[in-house]
Amino acid sequence: SVWEMMMPFAFGAALVMADEDIIREPEKMKAYIKQTGASISSLPPAYYRQSGVQFDKLVVTAGSASSKDIVEKAIQKGVYLNSYGPTEVTVCATDWKCEKGDSIPDVIPIGRPVTNQQVVIKKDGKLCGYYVPGEICVGGKGVARGYLNQPELTDEKFVIDSNVMSRVYHTGDLGRWLPDGNIEYLGRNDEQVKIRGYRIEIQEIQQVLLGIPEITDGVIMVRESEDGNQYICAYYVAERPIDKSAVRAEIAKALPSYMIPSKFLQMDQIPVTVNGKPDKKALPVQMEDFQEEYVAPESDAEIAVCEAFESALGIDKVGMKTSFFEAGGDSIKAMLVVSRLREAGYEVTVKTVLQGRLPELIVHDMTKLSEQDADYETVTGEVKNTPVIEEFLNDWNLSNPAHFNQAMTFPVEGANMKLVQDALEAVVEHHDMLRSVLKDGKLVIQPYERGTNFTLEEADGTGEHDYELWAQNICTRVQESIDLAGGPLVKAVLFHGDKDYLFVCMHHLVIDGVSLRIFGEDFSRAYEQIKATGKAVLPGKTMSFKAWSELLSQYPEQYMEDAELACWNKAVSNIQNLSLEIENVPENDKQTKPTAVFTRSLSLSEEQTDDFLRRTNHAFHTEHNDILLGALASAVQKLTGQEHVSVMLESHGRVQLDKNVNIERTIGWFTCSYPVNLSCRKTAKQNIILAKEAIRDIPNGGIGCGMLPKDSKKNVDIYFNYLGEMVRDTDPIYPLGESVAKENALPGAIKFNGFVVNKQLQFSIQGDSRILTEEQLQNLARLYKESLCEMIQYCASLSESERTKSDYSSVTMKNEDLQYIRSQYPDVEDIYTLSPLQKGMMFHNIQSGSGTEYVLQTVYTWNGILHKDILRQATELLAWQYQVLRTAFVDYRFVSTPLQVVLKDRKIEWNEHDFTALDEQSQDENMKKLVREDVERGFDLIDDALMRMDVIQYAQGKYDLIVTAHHIIMDGWSSSAIIGNLISLYMKLEKGISYDELKQEITAKNQNQSQYSDYINWIEKRSKKTAMSYWGKLLEGYEESAAITPVRKPEKQSSNMIRADYEVSTELTEKLRQTAAGCNVTINTITETVWGILLQKYNHINDVVFGKVVSGRNAEIRNIEEMTGLFINTIPVRETVTEETKVSDLLLAMQNQSNESGNYDYCALADIQSASGIGENLVKTLYVYENYYIDTNVVSRDDAANMEFTLGMKQVREQTNYALTVSVNITLDTMHWNIMYNPNEYAEEEIHAIYRRI
């Protein structure tokens, strides 16, 4: 361009211009630079990246988007300048400068306007604010007069702009202003495409691709298949072969699933045009599909869940790996998914949809409805007042409570009164609450009787001058006519005119926003069915609202934990201190001013709404409400400057209190309200994250707040409710009339009601004239829209997502805890609390100051061929497969609660020892020393890898494998599975299956596999109050301590526990089996009872308590039998006998106790001991029944048949803090009793005596 030619002459420098043949050969170009002494260049980014040339003073790139790697390379020797300027503006329009030491953003901006140039960014004719994308328009000295002989194109592109008072050129390039005054280039207007309903930014994907460290060049483009479907292609260049799955995985870390390319191709170089820009026309069309991008549903259930996603989310081609949240899902849409699945014949909960996220995970927890009986039973009678109904009737003090409705319309072309009447009858008969009336302050469901449970009138507006006003007045009249006591509470009008439509209104007492959708779907279904067949068949009923209200009344006693009650008491007590700090309407004006409601409406464009629904949540793993409330916090901060404000949220209230509760298709007023303390900060990021975490901290969806005593509740200034996307976006909007009487004063000062209709996010913001002025409400509405647009654009602009506190499994972690963890561990995959037994082990570890407690060690013999490098690779894959092997325990001194972290990369410690030069005796001595020292070394729970493997080689084909681990990460069940999988992985690698292929296979399996964190969260969600009540009753009145006191002090002293093994004869084992069968109990019950009787005899008492180790694997978690970790727990067992007790009765009592205790075996023993009042003396001995299969051969039969080696168990070391532990197991036909004891307390002969008494 002109400046490139003139710059050197202006400063007395030389201009050199390389021939085309030199430019095309990078080595020739490098030699040419050296020969001419050129120190400044102006090159296209693609050429600079591919050629590897370097300049000493200045590198200028222009012509296409630059990237971080280019800048990093350029500033090694000189200064970098990124320039932008289309041909039509003659010379450079903007530039961005970077020198060594400057921070480099992930996306390289095109800078600021150069001298004598102006830039405006506009969208729909309006100037854009920060982060808002728009078209880049350039004005100033360099703008051309137009296109030669093309007057129409000139008039279109070169326009007088009032903002700069001159002609500007509309470039067709997209960009946005950044807060620092730079401009970020977003690509061409024509590079914005829609695929499967999503708007895709090509430039955004390309920036992420070029940000992958090993990729040196790349291009993203969209192609179209023969069947008309569009797909994203990624072309990339790297110095070594990079598997497409690895590239895809890196992109997936930064972008939502719908922006991930489906085809990938690695190339030697990206073809360029003569101008040095990527030549997209020259890129190969034939590319290899990435199969994981779209996994099609196959079974009927898979097809049903994918179609339910498509219907609820409004997108096409949902696959088994489509993320519900990334596709725009929220809790309201989850209900729609559940509803669609129910229509398709499947039962699933909203919780499953929200937690599963992916169809491939949700499908596992679906139940075929044909296996259940559909419920059509009619419900009548009095309904208990739920908290929201109680507040409406007794607290809100509305001037006209009868005029407080929900309304909707339906297009019904060519409908007649009978058809509409029949459809409404079917719906009102099916949904019992719609037949309610109010009697003596209670809703009473009336029996169904045709023609009495709703009213329907007909209105013909043909010829009406102002049809809309006429219809509006009729709708308002009908809504005003509802009589709460006399009923009915459902009224409808069939309108005729230009188009036929049905208007229906229902009093809010019997319906809410979610119910309104259910009503609409069922009416439409009944209408079409009757029209086609003369009969309506609606889906089976879910739990009635009457039954729900009774269940909800039991919430404080049955479901509310102390922590939840404390949470709500604190939130309510803070309300007055967190009110909206505005100047209230003077008292004099309040007395004279009639009650009135100001209303302000705002709406976003379709494009902004699409960004809100599809492109905001990925940034911080949010839901839509988080963004909306973050914007409210920002608006309040701008309006008043305050740092906190209390907001009353209204949620759908449909919480699944019990696994048997299904209210997904129930109509009623379920809504619940609860206060949230919003932190108001100055940045979008802070407000979004703080709002998100405030909502995530709400227990049980806020349902417990309504259970607080009436006198503890206080009014909140701001009420907020987001209803989500309305279902029928494409339907025309008809008049509804006034659903709420104007004289009905709102609770609080301001009420936000938001929803998406006709593809636009809209808010109705109402203010109480007694509390604030119309101007104040106008300012708040303006600031809210401004803040919301800012947040949407900010989130949409982020190429990488950031996890916050609630994105990890821990439900008790605080923000400060997360900050500390991130400072200590760079790459964290997950964070969660400890299981009850893990807490106990950590406590003992801290108390003793020794790392040797709970050290598990097994020595295996390995005879035959051993490829140590392959076995080491297998250990790395093993750690990748099992999260517990990558676990570290956070230093308890710096966090608020005990926490463990799963690291993304932690290898099992690997050590090799060569004893081949030693004689046999020395080998044995050194092995024993190594084993002993390994145990004595113990584990640092904070810093150490918690599993070690040592390989000792004695000779060719003769090895020992020492596996040492801390008990805190695994139990016996888990350790057996881990070693078996280690050998399996070793053999696969030995067969030639690549490391990368196995890692991908493990990654895919782990996505469908429950993790140890699921078990921890299962424990966290159990009712501690109910469980501790059970343990309290079981141990009530117990004051003894059942130990076996040693007769004398043993002579031997050792730091290791000793295990004594005893075998019961086959004959006696068989007799025990027969006895168990005859008494209808298990062998476990018999041996457990025997241990209790023994303790009674030793202590000369008839009432004893001892500890029992339970597997912990009765939790309702999918595939729990395949999971690894420390699932076991210790619980107390109480055994009481009298002289009249029969053995058969005692056995049945013990088995019943075991079954009942199994429902509460997740409690920490320390908590149970503390509550008992006896403390640590409650449990003095431990009983274990090992009912899992112990394979001493370690490996599976299939692997054993193909092994070039044999593996056997040589010795096992266990450790516990109990002085005496007895365990029982049966292998084949023989029972084994094992007594593990502390040799510092018990002598060997005393252990023999104990067994003889057994």
Query: What is the average per-residue pLDDT within 1085-1096?
Result: 95
Residue 693: per-residue pLDDT: 96
Q: Which of 972, 963, 964, 971 is nearest to 936 (CA)?
A: 964
Task: Indicate the fold that domain 559-805 takes in CATH.
Answer: Chloramphenicol Acetyltransferase (3.30.559)
The CA-atom distances, in angstroms, between 585 and each of 580, 591, 685, 777 are 13, 10, 34, 12
The segment with the largest mean pLDDT, out of 63-67, 431-435, 705-709, is 431-435
Residue 1201: per-residue pLDDT: 62
∠ CA 263-267-271 to the nearest 5 degrees?
105
Q: What is the pLDDT of residues 799-809, one digit of tens each?
A: 788 999 999 99
Angle of the 1066-1079 helix axis to the 1143-1157 helix axis, nearest 10: 80
For domain 2-186, the question of CATH label 3.40.50.300 is answered with: no
Q: Which CATH number fits domain 1022-1181+1218-1253: 3.30.420.40, 3.40.640.10, 3.30.559.30, 3.40.50.970?
A: 3.30.559.30
Query: What is the average per-residue pLDDT within 416-423?
Result: 94
Q: What is the token pair recorded at 406? A: 């929900």
Q: What is the pLDDT of residues 993-1032, one digit of tens each?
A: 999 899 988 988 887 788 999 999 889 888 888 899 999 9
Architecture of domain 808-1011: 2-Layer Sandwich (3.30)
Residue 495: per-residue pLDDT: 94
> How big, in percent rounded to 5, are the helix, strand and coil portions of the chain?
40, 25, 35
Residue 1188: per-residue pLDDT: 52
Residue 197 pLDDT class (50, 70, 90 cuts):
low
Residue 591: per-residue pLDDT: 42
Residue 190 pLDDT class (50, 70, 90 cuts):
low
Residue 1012: per-residue pLDDT: 93
Does the pLDDT at position 713 exceed 70?
Answer: no
Residue 587: per-residue pLDDT: 53
Residue 1196: per-residue pLDDT: 54
- Lowest pLDDT segment from 772-776, 1094-1098, 1102-1106: 772-776
Q: Are 692 and 632 in contact (CB under 8 A)?
A: no
Query: What is the average per-residue pLDDT within 1168-1194?
Result: 78
Residue 795: per-residue pLDDT: 92
Q: HSE on the CB side for 369, CA within 13 Å?
A: 20
Q: In sequence order, what are the residues at sequence separation of 6 or more whose Cβ sits closer than 8 angstroms to the Cβ of residue 1237? A: 1057, 1058, 1060, 1219, 1220, 1221, 1247
What is the spatial distance between Cα 342 and Cα 522, in angstroms, rounded to a whole number? 13
Residue 1134: per-residue pLDDT: 97
For 1046-1164, where are the alpha helices, taking DSSP H only? 1066-1079, 1083-1099, 1143-1157
Residue 257: per-residue pLDDT: 72
What is the spatial distance between Cα 614 and Cα 197, in angstroms, rounded to a whole number? 10
Higher pLDDT, 285 or 908: 908
Query: What is the average per-residue pLDDT within 1176-1185?
Result: 92
Does the pLDDT at position 291 exceed 60?
Answer: no
Higher pLDDT, 2 or 595: 2
Residue 1192 pLDDT class (50, 70, 90 cuts):
very low
The CA-atom distances, in angstroms, between 747 and each of 398, 512, 629 are 9, 17, 19
Q: What is the pLDDT of residues 755-775, one digit of tens each?
A: 888 889 999 998 888 788 889
- The sign of the CA dihedral 926, 932, 934, 936 is negative
Residue 664: per-residue pLDDT: 86
Q: Which CATH number fits domain 300-371: 3.40.630.10, 2.120.10.30, 1.10.1200.10, 3.40.640.10?
A: 1.10.1200.10
Q: What is the pLDDT of residues 473-512, one digit of tens each?
A: 999 999 999 999 999 999 999 999 877 899 999 999 999 9
Q: Which of 1051, 1100, 887, 848 is nearest to 974 (CA)?
A: 887
What is the spatial distance between Cα 545 and Cα 572, in angstroms, rounded to a whole number? 28
Residue 55: per-residue pLDDT: 82
Residue 1189 pLDDT class (50, 70, 90 cuts):
very low
Same fold, 300-371 and 559-805: no
Sequence letter at residue 301: A
Residue 643: per-residue pLDDT: 94
Give the residue extent of every domain in the chain.
Answer: 2-186, 300-371, 381-551, 559-805, 808-1011, 1022-1181+1218-1253
CATH number of the structural domain 381-551 = 3.30.559.10
Residue 638: per-residue pLDDT: 95
pTM of the model: 0.73
Radius of gyration of the chain (CA): 36
Q: What is the pLDDT of residues 198-217, one digit of tens each?
A: 667 787 888 889 888 889 89
Query: What phi, psi does 1005 have (nearest 5°)?
Result: -65, -40
Residue 592 pLDDT class (50, 70, 90 cuts):
very low
Query: What is the average per-residue pLDDT within 685-710?
Result: 91
E strand intervals along 106-182 = 112-113, 117-123, 126-127, 134-140, 158-161, 166-177
Does the pLDDT at position 168 exceed 70?
Answer: yes
The segment with the largest mean pLDDT, out of 185-194, 368-377, 1140-1149, is 1140-1149
Does the pLDDT at position 577 exceed 60?
Answer: yes
Mean pLDDT, rounded, of the chain: 87
Sequence letter at residue 55: F
Q: What is the pLDDT of residues 942-953, one digit of tens each?
A: 999 999 999 999
Query: What is the average per-residue pLDDT within 63-68?
Result: 84
